[in-house]
Structure 1
């Protein structure tokens, strides 16, 4: 799915979520939502895009449409809180530099990094509560902890297979892929620890942890979709 197509789907999601007064329409609390955490090279982006397409076909409820929020989540945050687009460059999945954040706030360059982080959390909660979203990264599994319609998924894999995926995806040599994997894995761990005080690998954060080494994309998509749709059903409808 192209970035343009992804943006169009997000715009459709926002439009369908708004009532004539500019707020969110009330919807059943049972609409499912998914948070997707992933190790670098564990095929998270590919699987997330396929998952949206699969759920569009399998979910009987079609309004609002299933929508993926990945890098484009920050655009939604800025729109939700009427913030200028230049702030996007400060809102990455990296550990907050407290000194730089304080300096920027003092000289009025932008709100503090912690304030921006809170706004991201606010938008994540609103999207998860609405349902029919897949949120990738950003600690959404922690922000939405306890929401009964939300399925938290973690994709993992061996270094060997993750490196092979990165080499193919980004046309990298083995050393380049290894350097990028180590750097990005560390960056995500530090972001998670800095913002949430938790270990991103803690299994208690997730309903499903899937090793992508030995399963195809389609198999993984079916597992996640089935679990998400089942979790969102009224409890009485689930056979025991």
Structure 2
């Protein structure tokens, strides 16, 4: 059983590629549904989890980090809130738990959310990074999501910053470095189909 993690510069087509790879291999695709899993474990609403992701690196993270050694751990906070509780640190703790559970089950494609770090030492896990220049990523968003050029550029910029900030929860800044991955694909030079075939080849000997 194999697991593929797909990290990407926003607009490089990670979700599109992941969907195609999952279809070709008969794997399950893990993307936005991981929010539901985090919400269930933290006993909070999915919208709360989404707000934590959106706040990544912003005021919430600065506040939490400022608590320093007095920050309460996950179990203490959950115990104090009958309806559940989540913040950036708990979010990352739960991501580690959930993504490791998914890896144990195997045969899945995991989109983003630090999978390349959480599963870095796991066997039969393949880490993929998608890159592309800015113009290509903006054009991809225009064509696949029916956006104007201005809308696409704003979204790519916004989510690029959010991605950078999200990894601050992991205390990582090297997420685009090739040594973390088994393969790096320049989506400005490959079709989705060809890229998907390359990713599928990683699992051929499993």
Query: Is 1:33 matched up with 2:3?
Result: yes
1:84 aligns with one of 39, 44, 47: 44
Once the two structures are TM-superposed, the CA of residue 91 in structure 1 deviates from its matched residue by 4.0
Superimposed CA distance per residue, residues 139-177 of structure 1 (whole angstroms, 9 cap, x where no aligned partner): 110000110110000011111211111112232222222
Unaligned runs of 5+ in 2: 72-76
Q: Residue 141 of structure 1 corresponds to which residue in structure 2?
A: 116
- Cα distance in structure 2, aligned partners of 1:135 and 1:122: 14
Quick one: which of 121, 124, 141 aligns to 2:99? 124
Pick one of 16, 23, 31 that aligns with 1:70. 31
Residues 33-54 of structure 1: CA deviation (Å, up to 9, x unaligned): 0000011111111111111110
Aligned counterpart, 1:98: 61
Which residue does the alignment assign to 1:155? 130
Q: Matched residues in 2 for 1:53 and 1:210: separation?
A: 19
Matches for 1:175-190 after TM superposition, within 5 Å: 175-190=150-165
RMSD of equivalent CA atoms: 2.4
Q: Which residue of 1 aligns with 2:74?
A: none
Deviation at 1:85, TM superposition (A): 2.6
Structure 2: how far apart are the matches of 1:193 and 1:202? 15
Where does structure 1 lack aligned partners over 5 or more consecutive residues?
A: 1-30, 57-65, 234-240
Instruction: Note if contact 1:141-1:206 (Cα within 8 Å) is conserved in structure 2.
Output: yes
Alpha-carbon displacement from aligned partner over 1:193-238 (angstroms, at most 9, x marks no partner): 33232322111111110001121111111110111333xx3xxxxx
Alignment pair present for 1:54 and 2:54: no
Is the contact between residue 167 and residue 177 of structure 1 (CA under 8 Å) also seen in structure 2? yes
Larger mean Cα displacement after TM superposition, 111-120 or 93-102: 93-102
Aligned position for 1:224: 199
Q: Deviations over 1:38-84 (max 9, x none)?
A: 1111111111111111002xxxxxxxxx21010111212333x2623
Q: Distance in 1 between matches of 2:57 and 2:19?
A: 27
Structure 2 length as normaliser, TM-score? 0.82
For these two proteins, the number of residue pairs brought into alignment is 190
Which of the two has higher C-alpha Rg? 1
Contact 1:192 1:199 in 2 (8 A): no
